[in-house]
Amino acid sequence: MSFPLLTATAALPAVGAIVTAAVPAARRTAAKWLALLVSLATLALAVTVLVRFDPDGDRYQLTESRAWIADFGVRYELGVDGIGVALIGLTALLIPFIILAGWHDADPSPSSQLRSSRGGPNETKAPYKWRPTQGFFALILAVEAMVIISFEATDVFLFYIFFEAMLIPMYFLIGGFGDRAHAGSDENASAQRSYAAVKFLLYNLVGGLIMLAAVIGLYVVAGNFSLQEIAEARANGTLDMATNTERLLFLGFFFAFAVKAPLWPLHTWLPNAMGEATAPVAVLITAVVDKVGTFAMLRFCLGLFPEASKWATPVILVLALISIIYGALLAVGQRDIKRLVAYASISHFGFIILGIFVMTSQGQSGATLYMVNHGISTAALMLVAGFLISRRGSRLIADYGGVQKVAPVLAGTFLIGGLATLSLPGLAPFVSEFLVLVGAFARYPVVGIIATVGIVLAALYTLVLYQRTMTGPVKPEVSAMPDLRVRELVVVAPLIALLIGLGVYPKPLTELVNPAVEHTMSDVQKKDPQPEVEAAK
């Protein structure tokens, strides 16, 4: 029996979460190192998955299938295509940086601590049995496990279980470990965190409950939950799904994924959640968890309901365009750094969904690359912003000025992260955005023209943010601001290197995802439009 590599990749962080949570209260530093080592080991397994995956091989590889709930046709089925492998790699890559960036974010305040008589100089013993540091890192590992298995699941019910289960650790990460740079009293900060966490949970729970009804409906129609079996049955004509039934089921799935993505007008939970969460948790939300929504649109909406996907395309394209323009416009007007990045992400998710539903190979390849590159660029920008906010103790843009004169490395990395966010040529997101727009112009020229407005607005909000925070006279409050420390450089430098490397040479990613995109195009029976002008002979 071959080694269950996919199961191991998801199980390792899950086991690591349990062990980290069990670390004694006085051993915070040990819990941090344990979580970091587990995340690095998970990254090693993800790299193994990548190495063993053959882009030109079968559609789903490294498959595992075992009986689970036999009476209802539920199986423990895993398998990865090129898109899933790319996103597993992104998740496993970002988690170690998230852990390092949040190294001190969950340390209890001195007033709530009692010095341990046996611990080292940095060890403290919390009163009672509450272990906030252990809990923080355990929750991050739990989210990683659930996200990875969501990218691997080819059984619809199995996917649904973890799609919903990841809400629980995310709720506690947002509500229990909020940003300490909140303006106002501790009571007000706590209330805002609770509001953001509850809003996140309610929005996603409603989407999940609607999806559950659709999952049950799919079982009634198809008799099983296997993505591959349903696709094969549709292809050979043994599964005849009525048009109205397919459309209703599609809407149930798409609604849940649109909330997670997030797509306008279901987006309003994201600015609250990212604003109130710590910077590493904000990265976890938008760079990792939200990618499950857009990934699922490709795998489940287009794979299970091809005709309904084409039927809904005009409305979805309009919603994607609204997300692009609306998110960018609100980002321009933001006074809070983290909320600005949140609204920018809404705009970027609009581009991803646009690329998926223009139904061209360039658009879907660009959308998949956008998921990966947006994760890296948002992580770079948000984590540097978190380092900046932790020094000043404020999220307000107006409280900064002249930072580049006192912390040039911090300002420089912030600039590169911002330039990646606006998709500057030479940085990784440019390739993604370019492919999405090429795919849009090929089939829907007017849609492509409107979407380009988002590029202009992205340049505006990014450059204005940098100008207001980093240039100009040095404000007295930032005059003694230290530059990036070694731990922070270890977090930021690899992300910057990836942005530049994938911007100059994106071929490894495109070769990985293009065969999977071809399968998706085949599912919806779409071919790329032929050029109107013939090539010169």
User: Which of the four pLDDT bands, split at 50, 70 and 90, describes residue 182?
Assistant: low
Residue 124 pLDDT: 43
Candidates 170, 172, 166, 168; CA nearest to 146 is 166
Residue 536 pLDDT: 57
Residues 87 and 295: beta-carbon distance below 8 Å: yes
Residue 252 pLDDT: 94
User: Which of the four pLDDT bands, split at 50, 70 and 90, describes residue 288?
Assistant: very high
CA distance linking residue 71 with residue 74, whole number of Å: 8
Residue 20 pLDDT: 93
Stretch 28-47: mean pLDDT, rounded?
Answer: 94
What is the chain's Cα-based Rg? 23
Residue 533 pLDDT: 63
Q: Across all residues in the chain, what is the average pLDDT?
A: 88
In the chain, the percentage of residues whose pLDDT exceeds 90 is 63
pLDDT in tens, 212-259: 999 999 988 888 888 888 888 877 777 778 889 989 999 999 999 999
**Residue 268 phi, psi dihedral angles, 5° rounding:** -65, -15
CA distance linking residue 137 with residue 176, whole number of Å: 12
CA distance linking residue 171 with residue 189, whole number of Å: 16
pLDDT in tens, 447-465: 999 999 999 999 999 999 9
Handedness of CA 289, 294, 298, 303 (dihedral sign): positive
pLDDT in tens, 321-331: 999 999 999 99
Residue 235 pLDDT: 74
Q: Which of 134-138, 356-360, 474-478 has the lowest mean pLDDT?
A: 474-478
Residues 142 and 169: beta-carbon distance below 8 Å: yes
CA distance linking residue 537 with residue 518, whole number of Å: 28
pLDDT in tens, 152-173: 999 999 999 999 999 999 999 9
Stretch 420-443: mean pLDDT, rounded?
Answer: 92
HEC string of 308-375 equals: HHHHHHHHHHHHHHHHHHHHHHHHHCCCEHHHHHHHHHHHHHHHHHHHHHCCCHHHHHHHHHHHHHHH
Q: Give 88 or 106, the one with higher predicted confidence.
A: 88
Give the pTM: 0.89
Could you tell me where the beta strands, DSSP code E, fall in 107-212?
114-115, 124-125
CA distance linking residue 231 with residue 383, whole number of Å: 41
- How far, CA to CA in Å, does 328 sit from each of 264, 452, 464? 12, 11, 13
Tally the C-alpha atoms within 13 A of residue 500's C-alpha that lie toward its C-beta.
8
Tokens (6 digits) for 29: 């530093």
Task: Give the highest mean pLDDT range of 132-136, 189-193, 369-373.
Answer: 369-373
User: Which of the four pLDDT bands, split at 50, 70 and 90, describes residue 34?
Assistant: very high
- How far, CA to CA in Å, does 495 sit from each of 28, 93, 129, 198? 27, 10, 37, 32
> Torsion angle, CA of 242/247/249/255, rounded to 10 degrees?
180
Stretch 40-50: mean pLDDT, rounded?
Answer: 95
Residue 122 pLDDT: 46
How would DSSP label each residue in 407-476?
Answer: -HHHHHHHHHHHHHHTT-TTSHHHHHHHHHHHHHHHH-HHHHHHHHHHHHHHHHHHHHHHHHHHSSSPPG
Could you tell me where the beta strands, DSSP code E, fall in 469-527?
none
